Chains A and B, each alone.
Chain A
């Protein structure tokens, strides 16, 4: 389709959408209130996003940019009211200038300064100060993460269930896990040529990997379809009112 046809199709869709919503508002199917207009806005944005499935278009671009802007605005407000205001403004700044009954918490100055230093990445002259913040983050992160991760994700995972138990399915399960772990590890062991026993075991490893990829793909399909199902439920239940 050429540009002219695209404009014409978009205009007709917008006209049809407006007529449907005016009808819903006039007949009371949608309330003439914040909830009603909220539903109309949500429907318009949902349809705008899905219009990309046909092809990239200006309506999709508007919705996409609107999403990024709104999300960023929401994050800033939440960060202000949940972090900066209670942890910095009310504990350090306000008590400095007003008698609130509590002394200013000067310890807050250090993390606040480190946070401000991070933003100095944008300054050519002062960007070196941001290295202090990054050094702090990397050092603290490594110090906290490494011992906890080794304990939780390596040592705990190594504590294996006994291979032979009273329950046959449990024993089979344990054996399969052992076989899967060992064969996949051998598949990724490249210091020896994959021939003979090593080759055979690594082939079993490939099968385990393929099954894992298949499971991941199945779960991913389920996740993506759940999002579509949710949106279609919203359109035909909350907007069109066809189902309850």
Chain B
């Protein structure tokens, strides 16, 4: 018993590696059902007429790529499919490459033109101050886009002057940027805000759904998988859900196993 409690952690790592790899090799599909909070974002985008402006803030870096990039790609596909104009930006300097590649690749797939159908404004430092600046005048916050084009001349931004002119704003966050978007964006300038975040900060975001400060929320890889199901474009997030479920069962079994051993050994200190 005592020996089992002192099991080498590397044995657990091997179990986890097997639990992740096998479901990817032996494909089996577990049902992924879209929850109300993810559906809200999907329904909101579906309700927008063609030519509407959606602002996506890619506030994450490669450390959170596995969770948030599938979300971003799914959202972009949905927007482009519905002929919605996409305005991308980031408040995280590490997010520029990921955001740029996601927008460009998704846009190319639907034959969308840069400057006309979508734009990537790039990175700006200052988080809250950028939001306030965008709330007053988007061209003052971003005089130039990521490629150095003057934003005033961009056809995609025609009809947009500030955050209030956005039909929908979505923040994909690996940090506390959703809270900043709520406090300094949505509450000050009154626009609809949706959120996508890593699973770690997911539980902290639920109070904002209750207070209707967020119209919808995608949390972690599960949220991304639900969105892929809704737009009928199964990709990496859906593929990742089988290993996710198997690993969760494994972790639960390890927790039960550890506790049973702990109690059987007489709860010695």
Contacts and interface: CB of A to CB of B under 8 A. Distances in A.
Interface of A: 53-54, 71, 74-75, 78-79, 82-83, 86, 144-145, 148-149, 151-153, 156-157, 159, 161, 177, 212, 215-216, 218-223, 225-233, 236, 242-243
Nearest to A53: B13
A152 B13 CA distance: 43
A133 B150 CA distance: 31
Interface stretch (B38-46, B183-191, B257-265): B183-191
Contacts of A225: 16, 20, 243-244, 247-248
A222 B248 contact: yes
Interface of A is mostly: helix
A226 B244 contact: yes
B184 A236 contact: no
Nearest to A236: B24
Nearest to A161: B210
A79 B10 contact: no
Contact of B184 (A78, A148, A229, A233): A148
Interface in B229-257: 236, 239-240, 243-244, 247-248, 251
Nearest to A141: B128
B123 A82 contact: yes
B172 interface: no
B49 interface: no
Nearest to B129: A144
A233 B235 CA distance: 11
Contacts, number: 130
Interface of B: 10, 13, 16-17, 20-21, 24-25, 27, 65-67, 93-94, 96, 122-125, 128-129, 132, 143-144, 146, 148, 179, 182-184, 186-188, 198-200, 202-203, 207, 210-211, 213, 219-222, 236, 239-240, 243-244, 247-248, 251
B187 A156 contact: yes
Interface of B is mostly: helix
A54 B221 CA distance: 27
A193 B265 CA distance: 35
12 contacts: A82-B125, A83-B124, A144-B129, A145-B183, A161-B210, A219-B199, A219-B219, A220-B200, A221-B251, A222-B222, A229-B20, A230-B67
A148 B187 contact: yes
Contacts of B239: 233
A78 B248 contact: no
Given A82-B122, A221-B251, A74 B10 contact: no
